[in-house]
Copies of this chain bind each other. A is one copy, B any other.
Amino acid sequence: MKSTFLSQLAQRSNEPAISWLMRLTLDHPKLISLAAGFTDNNSLPVSQTLRLVEQILGGKKPGSSPLQYGSTAGDPDLRRLTAHDLALLDGHAEARIYSADRVLITNGSQQLLYLLSECLCDPGDIVLVEDPSYFVFFGIAQSHGLQCRGISMKDDGLDLDHLETRLSALKRKKQLHRVKMLYLVSYFQNPSGVTTSLKKKAEALAILRRYEKDAGHPIFLLEDAAYRELRFYGPDVPSALAIEGAAERVIYAGTYSKPFATGMRVGFGLLPKALFENVYRIKSNHDFGTSNLLQHIMARALASGEYEAHLADLHYRYARKAHAMTQALREYFPTEVEWLEPAGGLYVWARLPRRLKSGVKSDLFKSALKKNVLYVPGELCYADDPTRPRPNHEMRLSFGGATQQEIGEGIARLGRLMARSLEHKAVIRAIRAGKKSPVTSRKKVFTLLRGRK
């Protein structure tokens, strides 16, 4: 009997990179993981959550609702508070776009990304993504048979010229009708750490709009703001919702997982009206609503000020840990390695010299694992886009889960491996060029060459 019982979707669903990384962690119990997007275990709001649950359940008589089914779209208080807080963040308290009836509560923002992919895209459809971008999104896209097309990044976000070039090429190839959305991780991007300015978001939206006529339908801007509230330096940037005409084109995906507790898995979307009902229906089929208990906890956290207070604490912690990481990078990484000083989020994105490969099959990745250090190879953060080679010389380094001591030690080990590898390469190049090796001892050269096999 052939094993043809799996659907097309199941056949397309690969093992998620995250599972593979987690297995590596389990197989190496002494591992320093700079890979996981975990938040700091010591930062988790344990006493706060207990207090909130006591307030929610302790004061009430039996018969109250946190333990009953809620409605599919979410708890009315949480929807209202979410819309309200978003309006305040964006400085647009009066604008009608920040309306509770556009808010859908989801199981983390991940579920929203899934629902939107289901709602907007058929197999073969195209999603424009940042190059690099959030690798778990690629898993969703892959399973739905979507084509991701990467848009280059600059240090301040999308390369708008490249966006324009992409779209006009797709127009020429009569593929524009396939383009459903542009996916932006706009705050302290996972993995690059880049924050996109409001101006750039507005320009990107304007570019999308110009191609809609040829596409024959709206092209949505999906703004994933997962890291927005993990900002420890500098001013906040308004979301794309603040752009003129955003109401029918911008989808805002937010979460309470990262800024409060990842173990909660409560996220949300603020959606254009034309989409809301459709996404809602799919959510209804998924689970007819996120856990009411979790929603009540989050609503209480927001209303009581516990959420804000916890954020302030998080900012302080992450600023220190980010500082520990960049200090270690300066101390231990070869000077050729480039990175952005993080102002928020959980990641530093390190660009190695191009001759130093960082991918899952690279010597560096393997030797790092032998030295019990794990990073996310940059190549995993690039969509499967046949129109460009996949870069293989970057790494995502998380300062979220590890302790400051682990960060220092992990970066030191990585730095030493890189230095050694660069030295190897210099020696080999010198030998090949017939030049005198910069390394004097013959024995050392042979050791180096042997180590390269």
Q: Which residues of A contact B (CB under 8 A)?
A: 1-10, 13-16, 18-19, 22, 38-39, 41-47, 49-50, 53-54, 57-58, 60-72, 107-108, 110-111, 114, 118-122, 125, 136, 139-140, 143, 177, 180, 212-213, 216-218, 220, 261-266, 274, 277-278, 281-282, 284-294
Q: Which residues of B contact A292 (CB under 8 A)?
A: 262-263, 265
Report the separation of the CA atoms of residues A19 and B107 in the bound assembly, to the nearest whole angstrom: 19
* Given A110-B286, A212-B1: A10 and B264 interface contact (C-beta under 8 Å): no
Q: Which residues of B contact A119 (CB under 8 A)?
A: 6-7, 9-10
> Could you jot down 12 A-B contacts, CB within 8 Å?
A2-B216, A4-B216, A7-B122, A18-B288, A44-B63, A53-B53, A66-B263, A107-B286, A110-B288, A114-B287, A265-B289, A291-B291
Please tell me if the beta carbons of A291 and B10 are within 8 angstroms of each other in the complex.
no
Q: Which residues of B contact A121 (CB under 8 A)?
A: 7
Closest to A261 in B: B67
Please tell me if the beta carbons of B5 and A143 are within 8 angstroms of each other in the complex.
no
Closest to A119 in B: B10
Report the separation of the CA atoms of residues A54 and B52 in the bound assembly, to the nearest whole angstrom: 11
Report the separation of the CA atoms of residues A5 and B136 in the bound assembly, to the nearest whole angstrom: 23
Please tell me if the beta carbons of B140 and A285 are within 8 angstroms of each other in the complex.
yes
* Given A10-B118, A285-B139: A70 and B263 interface contact (C-beta under 8 Å): yes
Please tell me if the beta carbons of A107 and B38 are within 8 angstroms of each other in the complex.
no
Please tell me if the beta carbons of B120 and A7 are within 8 angstroms of each other in the complex.
yes
* Given A15-B281, A53-B50: A67 and B38 interface contact (C-beta under 8 Å): no
- Shortest Cβ gap from A279 to chain B (Å): 8
- Shortest Cβ gap from A401 to chain B (Å): 9
Report the separation of the CA atoms of residues A229 and B110 in the bound assembly, to the nearest whole angstrom: 32
Q: Among B218, B266, B282, B290, point to the contact of A5 (Cβ < 8 A).
A: B218
Please tell me if the beta carbons of B46 and A118 are within 8 angstroms of each other in the complex.
no
Q: Among B10, B70, B287, B291, point to the contact of A110 (Cβ < 8 A).
A: B287
Q: Which residues of B contact A69 (CB under 8 A)?
A: 38, 262-263
Please tell me if the beta carbons of B2 and A107 are within 8 angstroms of each other in the complex.
no
Please tell me if the beta carbons of A288 and B217 are within 8 angstroms of each other in the complex.
no
Q: Among B108, B143, B264, point to the contact of A67 (Cβ < 8 A).
A: B264
Q: Which residues of B contact A294 (CB under 8 A)?
A: 291, 293-294
- Shortest Cβ gap from A428 to chain B (Å): 41
Report the separation of the CA atoms of residues A19 and B277 in the bound assembly, to the nearest whole angstrom: 11
Please tell me if the beta carbons of B46 and A285 are within 8 angstroms of each other in the complex.
no
Please tell me if the beta carbons of B68 and A263 are within 8 angstroms of each other in the complex.
yes
Q: Which residues of B contact A54 (CB under 8 A)?
A: 50, 54
Q: Which residues of B contact A212 (CB under 8 A)?
A: 1
- Shortest Cβ gap from A75 to chain B (Å): 10
Please tell me if the beta carbons of B57 and A49 are within 8 angstroms of each other in the complex.
yes
* Given A53-B50, A122-B8, A294-B294: A111 and B1 interface contact (C-beta under 8 Å): no
Q: Which residues of B contact A286 (CB under 8 A)?
A: 107, 110-111, 114, 286
